[in-house]
A and B are shown apart, each in its own frame.
Chain A
Amino acid sequence: MKTFLLLVLTVLFPVLSEAHKVNVYAFREGETIKGECYFADGSPCKRAKIELYDRKGRKLDEALTDEKGLFSFRTQEEGRLKIIASAGPGHRAQYELETLEKIEEHPQTITNKALEERLQGLENEIRDLRKRMDRLTFRDIIGGIGYIFGLWGVINLLLRRKNAS
Chain B
Amino acid sequence: MHISEGVLSGSVLLGGTLLSAGGIGLGLRQIKPADLPKVAILSSGFFVASLIHIPVGPTSAHLLLNGLIGLILGFKAFPAIFVALLFQALLFQFGGLITLGVNTFNMATPAVLSHYLFRKLLKRESKTSVFLGGALGGGLSVLGGALLTCFALLETEKRFWAVAISFFTMHLPLAFLEALITGYILTYLKQVKPEVLE
> Is A21 part of the contact surface with B, judged by Cβ < 8 Å?
yes
Among A7, A90, A94, point to the contact of B2 (Cβ < 8 A): A90
B75 within 8 A of A: no
> Given contacts A21-B94, A144-B87, is CB(A92)–CB(B7) below 8 Å?
yes
Q: B52-60, B107-115, B126-134, B137-145: which lies at the A interface?
A: B52-60
* Interface flag for B10 (CB, 8 Å): no
Contact yes or no, A7 B185, CB < 8 A: yes
Determine the distance from Cα of A94 to Cα of B196 in the docked complex, in whole angstroms. 44
Q: Using Cβ atoms and an 8 Å threshold, which residues of chain B touch A140?
A: 91-92
Instruction: State whether the Cβ of B163 lies closer than 8 Å to any Cβ in chain A.
Output: yes
- B92's partner among A3, A4, A19, A92 (CB-CB below 8 A) is A19
Interface class of chain B by DSSP? helix
B45, A90: Cβ atoms under 8 Å?
no
Number of B residues, CB within 8 Å of A: 52
A144-161: CB near B (< 8 Å → 1, else 0) gives 110111011101100110
Q: 27 pairs across A/B with beta carbons < 8 Å?
A: A8-B41, A11-B185, A13-B48, A15-B53, A16-B51, A17-B52, A18-B53, A19-B92, A21-B92, A21-B94, A22-B4, A89-B150, A90-B1, A90-B2, A90-B4, A92-B4, A92-B6, A136-B92, A144-B91, A144-B92, A148-B40, A149-B40, A149-B44, A152-B40, A155-B36, A159-B31, A160-B33
Please report B residues at the A interface, Cβ cutoff 8 Å. Answer: 1-7, 28, 31-33, 36-41, 43-45, 47-53, 59-60, 62-63, 83-84, 87-88, 91-94, 149-150, 153, 157, 163, 167, 181, 185, 188-189, 192-193, 196
A contacts, CB < 8 Å to B: 1, 3-5, 7-8, 11-13, 15-22, 40, 88-94, 136, 140-141, 143-145, 147-149, 151-153, 155-156, 159-160, 163
